[in-house]
Amino acid sequence: MANISTLNTTAAGFDAVSDQVASGPRGRKPRRTLSPRNIMLYGTLFVFALYYLLPLYVMVVTSLKGMPEVRMGNIFSPPMEITFEPWVKAWAEACTGLNCDGLSRGFWNSVRILVPSVVVSIAVASVSGYALANWRFKGSEFYFSILIIGAFIPYQVMLYPVVIALREIGVYGTLTGLVIVHTIFGMPILTLLFRNYFASLPVELFKAARIDGAGFWQIYFRIMLPMSLPIFVVAMILQVTGIWNDFLFGVVFTRPDVYPMTVQLNNIVNSVQGVKEYNVNMAATLLTGAVPLIVYFLSGRLFVRGIAAGAVKG
Amino acid sequence: MNIRAFAAALAATAVLPLGLAKAADLEVTHWWTSGGEAAAVAEFAKAFDATGNKWVDGAIAGGGSTARPIMISRITGGDPMGATQFNHGRQAQELVEAGLMRDLTAVAEKGKWKEVIKPASLLESCTIDGKIYCVPVNIHSWQWLWLNNEAFEKAGVPVPKDWNEFVAAGPKLKEAGIHPLALGGQPWQANGLFDTLLLALGGKELHEKVYVEKDAESAAGPEVKKIFDAAAQARELSIGTNVQDWNQATNMVITGKAAGQVMGDWAQGEFQIAGKVAGKDYSCLPGLGVSQYITTGGDAFYFPVLEDEEGSKAQDALAEVLVAPETQVAFNLKKGSLPIRGDVDLATANDCMKKGLEIVAQGNALTSTDQLLSPDSQSQKQDLMTEFFSSTSMTPEAAQERFAEIISSAD
Amino acid sequence: MTGHAPAKRPNQLFRNLTAKIASIPMILIALGIFLGGSLWTVVYSFTNSKLLPRASFVGFDQFERLWSSSRWIISIQNLAIYGILSLIFSMVIGFLLAALMDQKIRFENTFRTIFLYPFALSFIVTGLVWQWILNPEFGIQGIVRSLGWESFSFDPLYNADIVIYGILIAGLWQGTGLVMCLMLAGLRGIDEDIWKAARVDGIPMWRTYLFIVIPMMRPVFITTLVIIASGIVKVYDLVVAQTSGGPGNASEVPAKYVYDYMFQAQNLGQGFAASTMMLLTVAIIIIPWAYLEFGGKKRG
C-alpha cells in the first residue's frame, strides 16, 4: 500500500520529540499539501466520520419535520418545512400514561440523582483504586479480581440480590439507596482506571511523603488528588454517561414523582399512539442525550488525556 | 472535589427520602400507554380523584415485561406502590402467598362482587383460599379477526365471513398489493394467533383437551396437526409485514396496507381513535367467524399491603371505584374491552362490542390460556410460535412435535 | 507493590489499618454484592423458584432444560458471532482510527468528537436510530431503490440470517469511539525514541506498529478488552431496542434469555440457571487471566 516517499513523510512526522504523554498531536505543524498520503488519510477519516454522523444527521433532520413529511418516506432528505413542534412536544407535552408534560418532568429528577451518584461513586472508587495501587494489603488483589468479574455480570441478574440487600439495610426506595446502587455498578471499571492511574504516578513522590510521615489520607488529599484531574474527568464522563442513561435502576429504585428523564424517554419511545411519532422520538432522544453530549464537547481533550494516563500504565 | 462537598452530598442523600407520599395519594402503576389505553386509564383516575383522593400515575411503557420486574422489586423491596396492574390468574399468586398483597374480601362483600361480576371465573381467578385479592377491571378476548372493508373492495373480493374465506381471498389481495394478514413481531402475538386458531378451528373440546387437561396425546394428534397446517397458511399470508408492535400492525389494517389482523378486542380502541366506524369501515369476526367461542382473560388490579392506614383506606376507595358501574362503562368504552359486570347499560357500545357481549351472555366464554398455563409454559410456547411464524423453514410437523413436548410438561 | 509497602515495620498493621478501613466499601461491594450476589444466583439456579426466590431444590433440572432449549442455543451462537466480530472490528477500527488520528492531522478535536459522541447516547437510543436507518421501507434500502436500483436488498433487521450483523453495525457505531480514544491515548504514551530507533533501523511503519508499538500497548489493549468484553456479555438493551430478539428468535442473546425468563416467564430458577452459565463462562476466562494480570505480578 505504501511507497517509499509516503513512508518517509510519515516517519519524518515522528521526528519531533515530545516528552509529554498524551498532550495532543506531537511534532511539527501538519503539512498542507495534497500529497497522496494526505488524501488517503483524510479520505479515510472522512468516510468514517460520515458513518458516525449519518445517524445524528437523520435524527436532527427527522426531529425538524412534521409527521406528514416523515411518513412520505425519505429519511435522508432535509425538511421541506422546518418545524420545532416535535421538540416542544417532546420536552413539554408528550404523554406517559396520564402525565402529559414530556421530558421536562424528569430533567431535574435526573440531575438530583446524577450529582450525588457521580460524586459518591467516584469518591469511593478513587479511594479504593488508591488503596489498591499504593497500600496493598493481604487479599486486596483478590477483591479487585472479584470486581473485574463483576463488570461482566448483567445488571438484571443482580437486581434481586441488590433489592434484598438494600431492603435489609433499610434504604430501599430512597435516594441514598439509588446512590449506593450506582456506586456498586460503577465500581469495577472506575476502580480499574483509578488503580492504573495512581500506579502510574512517580513512586518517588509517594516514598518521599511516607518518609515525611504522611499517612493514608494526607497523601491522598495532598499529593494524589492534585495530580489526578485527568482521571477524575474520565471517571466523571463515564459516570455521567452511565447514570444519565440508566433506565432500569432509575425506575426500580424510585417512585413516579421522581422518575429520571430516561423513564419518560422510554415511555415516549415505547408508547405507540397509532403511528410511531418518529419526529418526537428523535427530538426526545436528542434532548435526553444533550447532557452527556455537552459534557463530551466541553471535556473531550481532557478525556483522552485522562484515559491515556489511566489506561496506559497498567 | 473536596471533603466538604462530599460530606454535604452524603448528608443530602441521608435526609431526602424520595417521594414522601401524602396521606391520600395513591400511586398506581400500570403499563397502559397506547392512545386508547391511556384514555381509558384517565377515566379511572378521574373517578378516583372524585372521591377526594389523588391518583398518582406511574405508567411504565414497554408492556408487562418492562413493568413487571419494577413492580415486583418495589413490592419485595418493601416500598410498594398503592395499587398495580397485573394480569390476573397465575401471575400474582406467589406475591399473595407471601403475604404481600392486601385481602379485599371486605370490600368485595360490601360491593356484592360475587353477584355482579360476570363471568364468575373472573373473580375466581382473584380468589385464593376463599379470599379475594384483586379487582378485575375488564374482559379481553383474543378471538377476533379485524378486517379493512375497503381493502377487499380494492382487491375485488367480498369481505370474508370467516377464516376460510379470508384465506381464500389471500392471492387476490396479494395481487392488489395488499398484505393479507398483519402480524407484529412481538412473540406474544404469534402465540395468541395460534391459540385463536386452535379454539376457532378446533373447537371448544380441543381447546380444553390441550390447555385444560394438558393432554400431550391430543397435542400430538391429527386435530392439532390441522391447526398447525392452518398456522402455516397464516404464516404464508403474513409474510412481509415488518412491524413489531401490535398497534403498528393494527395500523396497517386501518390504513389499508394490510387486509386483516387476528388480534384481541383491544385493537378496537385503535380503530376508534382513528375515527373508523365498525361495520362500515371495518368488520370484526369473533371466533374468526368459524365458532362462537371466545376466551376471557383480562386485566386486574392488585393492592400491596401498605403500612399507613390512610393509604389502606384510599386502596379500599379505589377498589370500589374500579368496580362501580359508571367507571366500568366509561373505562371499557375507551379501552375497547367488555365490562366485568352484566348489569351495566352499554347502549353506546358499537357493533363489535355488542357481538362480544352477546357471546358472553350466552355463556360461551372460556377461560383464556393465560390463566390455564403458567407464565413459564406460555413463554416456552411463545418461543416456539415466534420461531415457527418467522421462519418458513420450520415445518408444521416439527413445530407440533415441540408443542406436544411443551404441553406434556406444562403446569 | 512491594516498592510501596513498607516491609517489616513494627507498626505496619496499624498503618495498613487506615487503608483497610478506607477499602471497606470496596470489600463490601466485592464480597457482599458481586461475590455474594453471584453465589446467591448460583444457589437459586438449583431451585424451581418461580416469581419469588424459593429454596426448594430440584438438582440440575433447570440446566437440563436450559441446554435443551433451542432459544438458548441460538442465543449462545449469536453472542459468539456478535462477540468475536465485535471484538475484532472494534479493536481494528479503533486502532486504525487512532493511528490515523496520531498522524498530526488537522481538526483532530473535531474528528475525535465525531467518533466519540455516539458513546454519550444510550443503547435504547442507538437501537432506535439504527432500527430506522435499516428499515427496508424508508431506510437505506428504500433510498437506494428509489434511486433506480430496484433489486437492491439491504434489510438486516428483517432477515433472520443476517440480523445479528445489523445489530453489530449499531453496536460498533456506539462503541468504537471509546476504543479509538483508548488506543489513541496508548499511542500517545509510546516513547518517541522507539519510533526513532525503528526508523534508524529501517523498519517500515506497518511493521513498527505491528511488532513494536502494539506489544508495547498491552495495558491499553487489556483495559479496552475488559471494557468491550464486559459490554458484549451484557448486550441486552441494544437488541431489545432494535429487534426485540426477532425476527422470530434470530437475534436472541443470553442476557435477554435471562431477563425474559426471570421476569416475563416468571421462572427465576431458569433465569438463574442461564445466568450461572454466563457467570461460569466469564469466570473460566477471567480468573486465570486476572490472577496473572493483577495477582501474581509484582511491581516496583
Is the link from the previous residue into C215 a cis peptide, with omega within 30 of 0?
no
Residue B350: CB atoms within 10 Å: 17
Tell whether the model's pLDDT for residue B372 goes beyond 60: yes
Domain with CATH 1.10.3720.10 in chain A: 106-260+278-312
In the block, cell 458484549 appears at C232
Query: Rounded mean pLDDT of C233-256?
Result: 85
Alpha carbon distance B57, B151 (integer Å): 39
Query: Rounded mean pLDDT of C36-56?
Result: 89
Contacts of B3 in chain A (CB under 8 A): 221
Percentage of chain C exceeding pLDDT 70: 92
Q: What is the pLDDT of residue A32?
A: 57
Alpha carbon distance C80, B187 (integer Å): 23
Tell whether the model's pLDDT for residue A142 goes beyond 70: yes
Q: What is the pLDDT of residue B95?
A: 85
H helix runs in chain C, sequence order:
12-22, 24-27, 36-44, 61-67, 70-101, 108-116, 123-133, 140-146, 163-188, 192-200, 205-207, 214-216, 218-233, 237-242, 254-259, 268-290
- Asked if C264 is an interface residue toward chain B (Cβ–Cβ < 8 A), one would say yes
Name the phi and psi angles at A191, rounded to 5. Answer: -60, -40
Q: What is the pLDDT of residue B71?
A: 84
CATH number at residue C182: 1.10.3720.10
Percentage of chain A exceeding pLDDT 70: 82
Which residues are bridge partners to B128 per DSSP?
B131
Instruction: Give the containing element (helix H, strand E) for B128.
Output: strand B127-128
In the block, cell 435499516 appears at C134
Q: What is the pLDDT of residue C198?
A: 86
| Half-sphere CA count of C156, side-chain side, radius 13 A | 18
* Domains parsed from chain B with CATH numbers: 26-140+297-341 (3.40.190.10), 144-295+366-408 (3.40.190.10)
Q: Which of B10-14, B293-297, C34-38, C212-216 has the lowest mean pLDDT?
A: B10-14
What are the residues whose beta carbons fall under 8 Å from the beta carbon of B228, sequence distance 6 or more? B396, B397, B399, B400, B403
Q: What is the pLDDT of residue A311?
A: 53
Report the residue from B375, B376, B383 with minimal CB separation from C71. B383
What are the residues whose beta carbons fall under 8 Å from the beta carbon of B185, sequence distance 6 or more? B242, B243, B244, B386, B390, C243, C244, C246, C247
Report the residue from C160, C245, C263 with minimal CB separation from B391. C160
CA of A98 to nearest chain B CA: how many angstroms apart? 6
Tell whether the model's pLDDT for residue A275 goes beyond 70: no
pLDDT band at B201, cuts 50/70/90?
very high
Tell whether the model's pLDDT for residue B133 goes beyond 80: yes
- Asked if C263 is an interface residue toward chain B (Cβ–Cβ < 8 A), one would say yes
In a domain, C27, yes or no: no
CA of B345 to nearest chain C CA: how many angstroms apart? 37
Tell whether the model's pLDDT for residue C84 goes beyond 90: yes
- Judged by CB atoms closer than 8 Å, whether chains meet at C264 and B375 is answered as yes
In a domain, C129, yes or no: yes
Residues listed for chain A: 314
Q: What is the pLDDT of residue C86?
A: 94
Alpha carbon distance A255, A112 (integer Å): 14
Residue of B386, B394, B406 for testing the chain C interface, max C β-carbons within 10 Å: B386
- pLDDT, tens digit, for every residue of B77-98? 888 899 998 876 666 788 888 8
Q: What is the pLDDT of residue B4?
A: 47
- pLDDT, tens digit, for every residue of B92-124? 788 888 888 999 999 999 989 988 887 888 888
Alpha carbon distance C77, C71 (integer Å): 10
Classify burial at A104, counting beta carbons within 10 Å of its beta carbon; exposed 0-12, middle 13-18, buried 19 or more. Answer: middle
pLDDT band at A273, cuts 50/70/90?
low
**Measured CA angle at C235 (ends C233, C240), to 5 deg:** 155
Classify burial at B1, counting beta carbons within 10 Å of its beta carbon; exposed 0-12, middle 13-18, buried 19 or more. Answer: middle
For the stretch C148-170, what's the b/e string if a residue is b when 16 or more beta carbons lie within 10 angstroms of its beta carbon? eeeeeebbbbbebeebbebbbbb
In a domain, C192, yes or no: yes
| Cβ–Cβ under 8 Å, residues A244 and A114 | yes
The C-alpha cell that represents B287 in the structure block: 371466533
| Cβ–Cβ under 8 Å, residues A267 and A97 | yes
Alpha carbon distance B245, B268 (integer Å): 15
Query: Rounded mean pLDDT of A172-201?
Result: 87
Q: What is the pLDDT of residue B388?
A: 92
| Cβ–Cβ under 8 Å, residues A109 and A258 | yes
The C-alpha cell that represents B284 in the structure block: 370484526
Query: Rounded mean pLDDT of A177-205?
Result: 87
Counted domains in chain C: 1
Contacts of B69 in chain A (CB under 8 A): 156, 159, 252
Q: What is the pLDDT of residue B303?
A: 93
| Cβ–Cβ under 8 Å, residues C187 and C177 | no
Residues 220-239 of A with CB under 8 A from B: 221, 225, 232
In a domain, C251, yes or no: yes
Tell whether the model's pLDDT for residue A290 goes beyond 50: yes
Report the residue from A96, A119, A163 with minimal CB separation from B6. A119
In a domain, C195, yes or no: yes
Tell whether the model's pLDDT for residue B346 goes beyond 90: no
* Residue in chain C lying closest to B386 (CA): C248
Q: What is the pLDDT of residue B399?
A: 93
Q: What is the pLDDT of residue C91?
A: 93
User: Which residues form the domain of C85?
Assistant: 70-269
pLDDT band at A131, cuts 50/70/90?
very high
- Asked if C128 is an interface residue toward chain A (Cβ–Cβ < 8 A), one would say yes
Tell whether the model's pLDDT for residue C299 goes beyond 50: no
| Cβ–Cβ under 8 Å, residues B134 and B86 | yes
Mean pLDDT in chain B? 85
pLDDT band at A16, cuts 50/70/90?
very low
CA of A96 to nearest chain B CA: how many angstroms apart? 6
- pLDDT, tens digit, for every residue of A64-95? 988 888 777 677 888 888 888 889 888 888 77
Q: What is the pLDDT of residue B406?
A: 92
What are the residues whose beta carbons fall under 8 Å from the beta carbon of C260, sequence distance 6 or more? B65, B379, C271
3-state secondary structure at position A135: coil
Q: What is the pLDDT of residue C12?
A: 55
Backbone conformation region of residue A79, classed left if phi is above 0, alpha if psi is from -120 to 50, else beta = beta
Q: Which of A3-12, A102-111, C64-73 has the lowest mean pLDDT?
A: A3-12
- Judged by CB atoms closer than 8 Å, whether chains meet at C50 and B383 is answered as no
Alpha carbon distance C251, C127 (integer Å): 13
Residue of C21, C45, C79, C132 for testing the chain A interface, max A β-carbons within 10 Å: C132
Query: Rounded mean pLDDT of B248-262?
Result: 91
Q: Is the ipTM of this complex over 0.85?
A: no
- Judged by CB atoms closer than 8 Å, whether chains meet at A173 and B17 is answered as yes
Q: What is the pLDDT of residue A106?
A: 85
Which overall architecture, per CATH, does domain A106-260+278-312 show? Orthogonal Bundle (1.10)
Report the residue from C52, C264, C266 with minimal CB separation from B76. C52
pLDDT band at A7, cuts 50/70/90?
very low
Query: Rounded mean pLDDT of A253-275?
Result: 77
Alpha carbon distance C45, C40 (integer Å): 9
- pLDDT, tens digit, for every residue of C105-153? 888 878 888 888 888 887 777 887 888 888 877 788 888 888 888 888 8
